[in-house]
Structure formats: structure tokens, C-alpha cells
Amino acid sequence: MSFSSLPLGYCTNVHPCRSAVDVPPMLDRHTLPVRKRCGFEIAAGLWLPEAAVREATASAATLHDLAGALADRGLTCHTLNAFPFGDFHGDRVKETVYLPDWTEPRRLDYALACATLLAALLPEDVAGSISTLPLGFKQHVSSRTFIDEAGDRLLACARGLEELHQRTGRLVRLAIEPEPLCVLETTDETLRFFTRLFERAAERGIEECARRHLGVCYAVCHQAVEFEAAAAAIAAYPAAGVRINKVQISCAVEVADPLDPDQRAALAAYVEPRYLHQTFGRAADGSISSVADLSTEFVREPPVEWLSCRPWRVHYHVPVDAERIGPLGTTRGDLKQALHAIGRLDYAPHLEVETYTWPVLPGADPVDLVEGLARELLATRALIEQVNFANL
């Protein structure tokens, strides 16, 4: 019953990266100054797009250089983000971040290439994790066989990860990350999928392999947007025999009173063209309404049923140290509950702060990125210490 002893890290998908050669300067410009500001060791939770991963794994020399770049800077890496496949810092990402989905060979190839890269970066005797998308985006699904096709790719991934383990001695686990309005968005949907997936694995004689290598990434802000109770959701996974391989520490925007003009005006500033911001509202009877993206039109004139929903929650990652941002709230309360639940597990998932939206956060005078990331890590470490003290 404790947290991972590995250094706390943040996800580098907040930084543009288009080539393997971008990684060392990124570490020098951002990660090392963040560590200095924090005053404790941190890990690099790397994200590289598919083209950069392909480049890095094309030669042993490039892998060696990347491993050396981390070692020379006294940094470690034990988790990769393999969710965004292409340019995550283009003018418009939105729903394209879910492509290719898990029915496509390119998604499988990318995940296994990321595993090869991570195996070359892992410290000795440390298991690795790779987060990935929750099969695909619901609006993109047209085939009745989509889930089984995606499951087949994931079982192929498990076999590939097992082969990597046998070849290199490095254990890398895949972590499927439920997200609002995706094929797997709720804990119930995810558990039903894993039940079926492990049944299919058993039919093929690879259940042990599938259970060893396939699990979930619990993104705290995603499940908060779904209005899930964090403690119950986190406890449900081990109860069902599904491992939480990774936890992304994140917070979402909350609008406590949508009828308040100041809160609505503040929310309008979060409409932006790059990322998708799924928006959910909960009515007094517990029913949930949702729209695929936050828009100016929605904020200005929401459907009448939304005006009785309190609160609204928006999939817009905001700094995890913030209880409030102006007149708006955040889901930091859910983060505290989630960390208490994670601290009660009998194993230690990887922990990673993931606020990729710093470049698009509203405000004429944005906080220095290094300062902002350091504040998040310091605040997260303080929460973890509080949980550890409470569990004594």
C-alpha cells in the first residue's frame, strides 16, 4: 500500500517534438530547469510522434544516443505516451488525435515501436508502461466488428510485448486510457471490454500473457468529466482482475453555476481551435448531457436542458495545483480522492502529471512554462505525502 518509488514525472507532450533529435534540446530547455526549480529528482515522461519513434528505432545507434541523452542529464524514463500518433502541436488536432484507431495496423506498429524505444531507455529492473487511446472515437466507428477487431490488435500487441520481454528482459505494459466520448469512456465500458478481451485471450491460450501486458491508464480528469466517483472507479479495476498500469494526474475545468454570467464569460475564453474539449453536465436527477466539443455557440446559447445542469465539466486540462481559476472551479477534489484510492492499491502504478494545454491556456500573460510545470509537480508531491501520512 504505497506509491511508486520511481521519480514523479510530467508528460512531455506539452512540448513540440517532430524528430528524435528534438529530444535532447527539449530536455535542456524545459525538463532540466523544471527539475532545478522543484529541487528533487523527476522523470521524463516522453512523448514522440510516430515518425520520430520510427526514426529512433531504425538504428541501434539512435537508441543508444537517446538513452545517453537521458543518462548524461541524470534523467530516467519509465513511461511513454503513445496516444497522439502524429503532430500534437499542429494548428488543429481535435478528433484526429484518435487516428489511426486500434483496428488499424499502424496503431499496433506504433505501440510496439514505442515499446522497443522504452526498452532501450528503462533503468535496470524497472518495468515500463505505455499509454494508448481507448480503441477509437465513438463518432468514427461504423463497423459492428470494431471492438473485436481492436481486441485482436491488442492481443497481437500483448504477444509482441511478451516477445520483447523474452528478448530484452524488459517488461513493458500497455495502458489503455479511457476518455470521454471514446469507444471506452466509462469504467463500466472498460471493464466489459477487458472481460471479453481476456475471454478471447483464454480461447487462444494467451490469457496469462494478455493479463501481464494489457491494462489501463487511469486519467483522473477524464473520469472526473464523466462524473465518476474516483475511489469506486479505481477500486473496480483490481476487483475485476484488470491492472492499472499508469495514472495520469490531471484536472478539468468545472463550471459550478452555468447561470452565472461571470462563469459563462470565463468559460468562453477556453474555446480554442487546437484540441477537443468534450463537455458534460449533470442534472439534478443524475442524468448526464454531453457535447463533443466546447464552442462559442454552446457557451453563448446552450440547449435549454443544459441550464438546469450543475455543474458542467470540460475536458480541458488545467494546472493540477489550482483549486480555482478565476470564477471557474477545477476537479482537483477528484484528484485528491483518486490519489487516496491509488495509495490503497497493493501495487504501484506509474504516476505522471499531464497538462498538455499550457500553450493554449487563456490569459494575456501566461505563466512561464517551467514555473507552471514545477508548481504542478511540487503540488502533486505534497498531495502524495499527505496520502502517505494518512495511510500510516
Sorted by sequence, the CB contacts under 8 Å of residue 255 that are 6+ apart come out as 263, 264, 267, 311, 312, 313, 314, 328, 329
Residues 6+ apart with CB under 8 A from 52: 17, 18, 19, 20, 22
Closest CA to 352 of 32, 74, 8: 8
**pLDDT at res. 174:** 99
- Domain ranges, ordered by start, for the chain: 9-251+332-372
Single-letter amino acid, residue 324: R
Residue 289 near residue 310 (C-beta atoms within 8 A): no
pLDDT average, residue stretch 281-308 = 96
Nearest to 198 by CA among 207, 209, 186: 207
d(CA 218, CA 212) in angstroms, rounded, equals: 17
pLDDT tens per residue across span 258-272: 999 999 999 999 999
| 195-213 confidence digits (pLDDT tens) | 999 999 999 999 999 999 9
At 309-343, the pLDDT tens digits run 999 999 999 999 999 999 999 999 999 999 999 99
Q: Which helix (H) or strand (E) holds 24?
A: helix 23-26
Into which CATH architecture does domain 9-251+332-372 fall? Alpha-Beta Barrel (3.20)
How confident is the prediction for the chain on average, in pLDDT? 96
pLDDT per position as a tens digit, 216-239: 999 999 999 999 999 999 999 999
Spatial separation of the C-alpha atoms in residues 72 and 174, rounded to whole Å? 28
pLDDT at 238: 97
What lies within 8 Å, CB to CB, of 83 at 6+ separation is: 13, 47, 97, 131, 132, 133, 177
> 145: which 3 cell numbers?
466488428
pLDDT tens, 139-183?
A: 999 999 999 999 999 999 999 999 999 999 999 999 999 999 999
Q: How far is CA 112 from CA 47, 158, 162, 206, 215, in A?
A: 14, 9, 11, 18, 15
Q: Cα-flanking dihedrals φ and ψ of residue 243, to 5°?
A: -85, 135
Residues forming beta bridges with residue 81, ordered by sequence position:
131
Could you tell me if 224 and 252 are in contact, meaning their C-beta atoms sit under 8 angstroms apart?
yes
pLDDT at residue 388, as a whole number: 86
Predicted confidence band of residue 363 (pLDDT cuts 50, 70, 90): confident
User: 89: helix, coil or strand?
Assistant: coil
pTM: 0.97
Is pLDDT above 70 for 1? no
Helix, strand, coil percent content, the chain, rounded in steps of 5: 45, 15, 35
Check pLDDT > 80 for residue 23. yes
State the pLDDT at residue 237.
98
Render pLDDT for 120-140 as a digit per residue (tens, 0 to 9).
Answer: 999 999 999 999 999 999 999
